[in-house]
Structure 1
């Protein structure tokens, strides 16, 4: 089976060689590697071209900068593989990751294979490995687990997708800049019959200045609320889905954005009013954690008082 790997590339010249080498040297050889150069202004495009010259499995498409979602969507329109992976250009993968994920889907007859990951900063592993286990989930069980802090989560890059669960209509929403991956993965899980998860880490997620925003608030980050709201609309009404987990996640995100808006002395009243009004979007009894329930209640009564407590705690 051909596996297509989509890599959106933007100003990644410092890291991309390690990423592409880790893909080039995969034990699974039947690969199509699609590099989408999203208007890079450094040498990323030239580096991509060099890999294409030395290995015909690599293909590069150069486009005007439009953001990571537009790059991934372009990649999806070009894939030929039966299975699809997404990898970020500043990360790298273990030599047998693709082979292992593919074999998982075949062994357990699943539409999606998921692995664990290392979270690294300055070559230091930040997350601790849990005991090794391989689990299979129905789509509903997977969706009820997707927000678990120690689980597989809604990232793109630690997963392999059967092309049939993506189809022609499942695409990234290009005006959503945060949690767009969670929305996409949720849609794919809904199209699945069974998912397999091996928590052994095969992916190296690298934390550095380029992918860690110093600001906890930005206008783009508020689009995460649009993504979560779309997920809630997508899943609401299904009795097998624990929908309040997603409402709790939405409210936690909204309160965090509102508190950081105040802390960073932002002045966009339209956004402030939207975040303030969002505090009343769902019932307090829908919240599934005490901390979010309390923060929601306090902020409804007195935002400045809530901020004072939040700032002391943080």
Structure 2
């Protein structure tokens, strides 16, 4: 990359059954104050007008490319976009969400200023079509590939981050499963020697009742267990004890939160308790577990439904 050229940012947007949200999403990229970007719209076999909307915007701006493919899911669409991307950096945007007009300028600026391979921002959640004004005080924190985990600053979702392209060398998002972010994001954090996190909200997460994640929350899903098994085993093999324990801790937290799901079968409840106990036994003496969590974890071993329902009520 030439020093006098601004880095090219690839923005990858999978599109599926979001025709009412898609124009706002696309226009949030077109209206970015940072202009050196390419937008890759992946029509993932959408049965509505998403494909037509993508094509119309591509006619208006030569920085926009469109891929039309058979439906393969979110990871399949993202992988398709990454195959053709040309950017120095890449970011992912879901098609029912949108960005603050200065998102790319701010994230690229931090990546260059701090020579960071990964920059993470905060989110806003709601149903607005315009980004709300933020009046908070910005805090910028620098992490390495250990402290991002041990300080619990890592966010598993792929969106809301700017990645140096080479972080993805050899990494392909798993296709055909739900919770694909669980399998991928931790690998990118671990590869990055320097990570910058800003508390400034630059990504707008639209609360869409028809989104994949909203539907997933309505029924139990255990596919992410394999992601944690893989992650824990990786850190065990690489003798990263603290990162192993942080992963076990987060796995245990997921059990506490999911146990209140009324649609769980007896078999699933039994598996949750067994897996929780296996990990908790290893964590009991670890200093990575905050005292409050140790109390909750102990309580869960005795009164799992009470603790899980309490957490569900506290979060909502």
Give yes or no for the alignment of 1:61 onto 2:67.
yes
* RMSD between superposed Cα atoms in Å: 2.7
For residues 197 and 17 of structure 1, what CA distance do their matches in structure 2 show? 29
**Residue 23 and residue 285 in structure 1: after superposition, are their counterparts in 2 closer, same or farther (change >3 A)?**
same
Give yes or no for the alignment of 1:171 onto 2:172.
yes
Partner of 2:199: 199
What secondary structure, in the 3-state scheme, does the structure 1 residue paired with 2:146 have?
A: helix
What secondary structure, in the 3-state scheme, does the structure 2 residue paired with 1:283 have?
A: helix
The CA deviation at 1:58 is 0.8
**8 Å CA contact 1:177, 1:223 repeated in 2:** yes
**8 Å CA contact 2:256, 2:308 repeated in 1:** no
What secondary structure, in the 3-state scheme, does the structure 2 residue paired with 1:198 have?
A: strand
Partner of 2:118: 112
**Match runs of 1:189-228 below 5 Å:** 189-211=189-211, 213=214, 216=217, 218=219, 221-228=221-228
**Residue 271 and residue 103 in structure 1: after superposition, are their counterparts in 2 closer, same or farther (change >3 A)?**
same
Give yes or no for the alignment of 1:84 onto 2:90.
yes
- Unmatched 5+ stretches in structure 2: 1-6
Partner of 1:4: 10
What secondary structure, in the 3-state scheme, does the structure 2 residue paired with 1:153 have?
A: coil
**8 Å CA contact 1:9, 1:36 repeated in 2:** yes
**Match runs of 1:1-314 below 5 Å:** 1-121=7-127, 131-145=137-151, 148=152, 151=153, 153-167=155-169, 169-178=170-179, 180-211=180-211, 213=214, 216=217, 218=219, 221-236=221-236, 237-239=238-240, 241-260=242-261, 263-264=262-263, 266-267=264-265, 271-284=268-281, 286=283, 288=289, 289-298=293-302, 306-307=304-305, 310-311=308-309, 314=313
For residues 130 and 70 of structure 1, what CA distance do their matches in structure 2 show? 37
TM-score by length of 1: 0.84
What secondary structure, in the 3-state scheme, does the structure 2 residue paired with 1:233 have?
A: helix
The CA deviation at 1:123 is 7.1
Aligned residues: 296
**8 Å CA contact 2:123, 2:204 repeated in 1:** yes
TM-score by length of 2: 0.83
For residues 96 and 87 of structure 1, what CA distance do their matches in structure 2 show? 15
**Residue 132 and residue 254 in structure 1: after superposition, are their counterparts in 2 closer, same or farther (change >3 A)?**
same
Deviations 1:205-229 (A, max 9, x none): 111212353664535x211222222
Partner of 1:302: none
**Residue 210 and residue 291 in structure 1: after superposition, are their counterparts in 2 closer, same or farther (change >3 A)?**
farther
**8 Å CA contact 2:256, 2:307 repeated in 1:** no
**8 Å CA contact 1:225, 1:254 repeated in 2:** no
